[in-house]
Amino acid sequence: MEPITLKNKIHNTVNTLPAEKLKIALDFLEDLQLEDKDETQRLLREAGFLEDYRQAKKDIRAGDTISWEDIKRDV
């Protein structure tokens, strides 16, 4: 599909969304604009992220994990 066609479809769809869904759409579109390095920097600035990440790596090395099958059963 051509970019202009896509933009027109997006524009038409946005014009039909209720106000509460417009915020969700905007958040999603803004996330798409972020580059991977921007997302990484955002995570690194998040309070507690590095500590959680380091602990997760330790847990994985120690085998302290949950199998996907166990998680999938709870969903």
Closest of 48, 74, 43, 49 to residue 66, by C-alpha: 74
How confident is the model at residue 75, as a pLDDT? 63
User: What pLDDT score does 31 carry?
Assistant: 83
48-59 pLDDT, tens digit per residue, is 999 999 999 999
15-44 pLDDT, tens digit per residue, is 999 999 999 999 898 888 878 888 888 888
Please give the full DSSP string across 13-35, using - where no structure is assigned: HHTTS-HHHHHHHHHHHHHHHS-
